[in-house]
Amino acid sequence: MKTHGGMGGGLEDGARLVFNGVLNRGDGSGYLLAPRTPQELLAEIGGGEPPSPPTVPRPLPSYIDANDLAKAGWGVIWAPGLDPRVKEALEPLLALRQREAGPLYREVEARPGETFFQLLKRLGASVAPVDPKRLPYYLLVVGEPAEVPFELQYQLDVAHAVGRLCFATPEEYGRYALGVVAVEENGVRRPRRLGIFAVQNQDDWATLSCREHLATPLAESLRREVQDWEVDSCLGSEATKARLRQHLGGEATPAMLLTCSHGLMYQVGDPLQPTDQGGLICADWPGPERWKERLPTEQYLAARDIADTDDLSGLISFQFACFSAGTPERDSFSRARGSAVARLAARDMMAPLAQRLLGKPGGSALAVVGHVDQVFEASYLWPGVGRQLETFEACLRGLMAGERLGLALEPFGHRHATIATFLTELLEQWRRQPETRPVGVSDALGEAFLWLAHNDARGYLLLGDPAVRPAVGRDTLF
């Protein structure tokens, strides 16, 4: 049996697409989605309406400096009916951004059920390019995804730099706000170090692919191209839970951390879903062939493992793992006609580990970049082309040069929009010329792979203030 590990070339007959994510059932464990042939995948996900929005070559006009909030603007979108104590708790951060953005600071309250285009119309804002006088480039969404949906954030994020904060208590919002202010005004600093933590579990194609085709070459490229940063790799069997703890509040905590692993999933109604969904499976898991039982807590990192005494001040954490930013109520990849969409959670939910990193006492992280729903190797591999690191490398190099996080993440938005445009054109062509529609998945990139790639690219989410920058000093900042 062939497995598509991204070695280049097209999707051959019999090749299988590999997925990230492990389902921790009450009676055992196994892949959330086993490897599929392109034909099997197309039968499962079916077709669908063209995605939106269209591609945006550059969201801001070239004369606007996106690193200057006084020119790019900063705003907050409040969930409807939000507890007033949340706004009070965030006041230190709001005051800081209002001083920096000046007249281009704005607060907006979302309306129940409001869509992307309804919001833009109400505010008199354009789809693209961004006019900061109407709607700021940097936007912080505050509240539950049940109130301000993931879909609205996805769509805003194509042209804007968008982050989200969502906690259970006003105190967590307050801790986060004070943490950002401490970094930006009180001189909290981290060493110029990027940590790359990439698990490889035994007999597991997904983690093998990610280590070989993302983590290792990315580390090598950044070491070669960025001279004033240290790149520290922890790969394969060394990427244990104990080592990850050292990178998250321990002695090895860097300014930026990229983790590559499986994300853990629980079924609706499982008592651990509210606390452990999206937990990061470490090298302690023996792999799918050697471990069929329910995964114990010793094999993965969850919110409970982050102690109040762990100091995460100034950390920006990237988590390449399923559900590491959040979980939609309904599966984003279920598109088969006539089939019920699989239910993943009682309602849209944020990732508990990410919330803990951002809202904990004793020093919280600046931001977490993770994924909503499943993540797929299409993020860094492309049939017929092979390895594609540009999205990750451009983002990390931008941050190393001092860019604000939301600006540095623009390549992810561009990738989402470009794939959406490509897929929309293909679907329109097949509607007008049915004879050109391929059977299964063709070497020229068929419908199934593009739907996967689109939903994968869309699902990256920034949690935290999009205007933060690495806490490494001001000497290289713009």
Confidence of residue 474 (pLDDT cuts 50, 70, 90): low
Give CA–CA dist 36/92, Å, rounded.
Answer: 49
In angstroms, what CA-CA distances link 412 with 244, 380, 403, 409, 441?
Answer: 25, 11, 15, 6, 25
DSSP tag of 13? T
214 phi and psi angles, rounded to 5 deg = -125, -65
Give CA–CA dist 322/262, Å, rounded.
Answer: 6
Mean pLDDT over 141-157 rounds to: 93
**pLDDT tens per residue, range 97-131:** 999 999 999 999 999 999 999 999 999 998 878 99
Tell me the average pLDDT of the chain: 86
Confidence of residue 384 (pLDDT cuts 50, 70, 90): low
Mark out the alpha helices in 303-446 (DSSP H runs).
352-359, 390-400, 405-408, 410-432
Asked if 435 and 218 touch (Cβ cutoff 8 Å), the reply is: no
DSSP tag of 342? P
Asked if 367 and 313 touch (Cβ cutoff 8 Å), the reply is: no
215: which residues sit within 8 A by CB, 6+ positions away? Answer: 196, 198, 233, 235, 258, 260
Q: Which residue's structure tokens are 């392109």?
A: 38
Strand partners, 75: 106, 139
Confidence of residue 420 (pLDDT cuts 50, 70, 90): confident
Give CA–CA dist 359/274, Å, rounded.
Answer: 16
**pLDDT tens per residue, range 42-78:** 555 554 444 444 444 456 777 889 999 999 999 999 9
The pLDDT value given to residue 13: 44
**Upstream peptide bond of 361 is cis (omega within 30 degrees of 0):** no
Give CA–CA dist 263/319, Å, rounded.
Answer: 9
